[in-house]
Amino acid sequence: MIAKISTSDSPRGALIYNCEKVEEGHAKILCTNKLWQKEDTIAANQFARVLEKKAAINKNTKNAFVHISLNPSPEDNLTDEQLSEIAQEYMQKIGYGEQPYIIFKHEDIDRHHLHIVTTNIDSQGKKITNEIEKKYNLHPADMKKDLKIWAPGKIDPTKNVSSQIRYTVKHLIKNYNFQSFNEFKTLLSLYNVDAQELKGEANRTPYSGIVYFATDDEKKRLANPVKSSILGKFAGVANLSKKYASSFPLLKASSEQLKNTLSNAMKMASTENDLTVILKRRGIDLILRKNDNGRIYGVTVIDHNSKSVMNGSRLGKEFSANRFQELFSVPDNAQKTTSEKTVVLEQPIFSFISDNVSVSLMPRFAGSGPFVPKKKKKRKKRMIT
């Protein structure tokens, strides 16, 4: 059995996730401890307040909330009663026996597993023992073999949108590096998620926040926005500011390799589509933002190998929006030259004139007026005397 413990400064993200699983029919509550609510009436916000009140007793503990995942081996066929007994004894062994907690059983994948949400005031950092595995003769699970690494996909509007947004945002913030909100937004757009900063003043007190939206493939917003406070502190302004700062040295280290890859691809590509395909094969997404006239005004490069997100101008002038505009469009002056040449060539080479001259081989230039040849003067014959 694998036991994984994570701590945070808020219980709401873990509680909302598990309670939504219950509502969707993919999980159920096995048992609770030190709670007055009935199991079928427990709401995420209610239990969050119970834990927050308990944690407030100790103000020196920053990460006072605990999310535990217990993963038996797929070879162990256990009943709900056995799983509940194992989980409760486990909590007792690691010092959480007198704490309020809820045990959830997830059934949305073949390998059923447990999630426990609680608070830890005085027992953080205790070593997880293997006494329960020995007592129940359980097979030690192989984390690398049994636990699938979750990777985000595009938002599915037919499923729980807020839950998808939460885990997409959390995964991207944890695994990718970026230095601005716009770079973060561009990364989110790959997964049909949009974000918007909110700034203002209430009761003469300035505030700032972020709301997240699900979008379709055309980037049109769907459903209602989700506040960052609902998702968790990881999705808020303060944490993103820390992320921008911590990303700087990591992006600097990976930028040279990325620039070399881009330069080589730009030499090989003859069209915008060629370049996009070449880079995609190398695990890089090139995002070109265009105005209504089709002119490129923004470039963002997302390298999924080094988990780097950078605007083109941050990489250098040779990767700026103007450079890509020059690379993939006909310059205005070239079009003007071609147009002017066409006008000249359309002027007739021959001018038909009446009187004594029928044809002129002189070209007729715009604005020069009709060509009128000079009449030859008759020479006077000299008289010979």
Query: pLDDT tens, 181-219?
Result: 999 999 999 999 999 999 887 777 887 899 999 999 999
Q: Map tokens 């002189």 to a residue.
A: 362
Residue 136 is predicted with a pLDDT of 54
Residue 148 is predicted with a pLDDT of 43
Determine the CATH number of domain 2-146.
3.30.930
**Does the pTM of the predicted model rise above 0.85?**
no
DSSP letter (8 states) at residue 345? H
Segments of the chain assigned E as strands: 2-8, 27-33, 65-71, 101-106, 113-119, 193-202, 205-215, 221-227, 284-290, 296-303, 308-311, 351-352, 359-360
Measured in residues, the chain has a length of 385
Burial of 342 (0-12, 13-18, 19+ CB in 10 A): exposed
**Are 192 and 155 in contact, with CB atoms under 8 Å apart?**
yes
Closest CA to 164 of 153, 172, 149: 153
Q: Where are the domains of the chain?
A: 2-146, 161-242, 332-378
Closest CA to 192 of 155, 159, 167, 226: 155
Give dist(CA 92, CA 1) in Å, integer: 17
Q: Which of 74-78, 111-115, 172-176, 315-319 has the lowest mean pLDDT?
A: 74-78
Q: How confident is the model at residue 283 (pLDDT cuts 50, 70, 90)?
A: very high
Q: Above 80 in pLDDT, residue 355?
A: no
Q: Using a pLDDT cut of 90, give the percent of the chain over it.
A: 37
Higher-confidence residue: 136 or 82?
Answer: 82
